[in-house]
Chains A and B, each alone.
Chain A
Amino acid sequence: GENVGLHLPTLSVQEGDNSIINCAYSNSASDYFIWYKQESGKGPQFIIDIRSNMDKRQGQRVTVLLNKTVKHLSLQIAATQPGDSAVYFCAENLGGISGGYNKLIFGAGTRLAVHP
């Protein structure tokens, strides 16, 4: 499959530890943010999203934090498992809907490597 993550920053963690993946976004007008997980040879898979009127949202083993002051987004994964190994992308929606669609701008990605 596609060698996603060839030049990406890598976060290495031990199985069972918590992982934190960070993302800086660029546009202060962005109002909606999404985290995706991409395994090698596959398309990105939706993990969790957050809107700009919130600063924290929790899912199953994942938490997204949004700091609009410094334009920073983070994804926390609790009790990281080998199956969490993948490339993680953040995406920002540029300020509302233009022409009926939302334009997502993706970050460069971070590779998460989970070691047993």
Chain B
Amino acid sequence: SQTIHQWPATLVQPVGSPLSLECTVEGTSNPNLYWYRQAAGRGLQLLFYSVGIGQISSEVPQNLSASRPQDRQFILSSKKLLLSDSGFYLCAWGSPNQPQHFGDGTRLSIL
């Protein structure tokens, strides 16, 4: 069966520090991969998606970037974090016209 892993579960970072969140998927090949952000009490906002290695599309302009160095690895990064980057970050995988399946997220707090 397919599984998706995100880490870390919780992260506290100072403003201006770099960020790297990692997501890996097991049990499937060539999945579509997604990064979402969820503000407290809100729905999910799509940040990035990828249909293959090295292929990244951004949905909203922001301080973050994404990379897909391997088929089942998706990384969310920032060179310098802003206070507004705080939130709950979720990785998901899916196939076209099928449900997306989510990891358990990373709660990021910027101080």
Contacts and interface: CB of A to CB of B under 8 A. Distances in A.
Contacts of A49: 99
A90 to B, nearest CB: 9
B51 A108 contact: no
The 7 residue pairs across chains A and B that have the minimum distance between CB atoms:
A43-B102, A6-B41, A7-B41, A106-B43, A2-B88, A100-B51, A106-B44
Interface residues of A, number: 31
B42 A108 contact: yes
Given A101-B51, A103-B46, A104-B46, A2 B40 contact: yes
20 contacts: A2-B88, A3-B40, A4-B38, A4-B41, A5-B41, A7-B40, A32-B97, A41-B107, A43-B92, A45-B102, A46-B99, A89-B43, A99-B57, A101-B32, A101-B49, A102-B94, A102-B96, A104-B46, A104-B100, A108-B43
B47 to A, nearest CB: 12
Interface of A: 1-8, 32, 34, 36, 41-46, 49, 89, 93, 97, 99-104, 106-109
B105 A101 contact: no
Interface of B: 6, 32, 38, 40-44, 46, 49, 51, 57, 88, 90, 92, 94, 96-105, 107
Contacts of A46: 99-101
Contacts of B42: 7, 108-109
Given A43-B103, A43-B104, A100 B96 contact: yes
B31 to A, nearest CB: 10
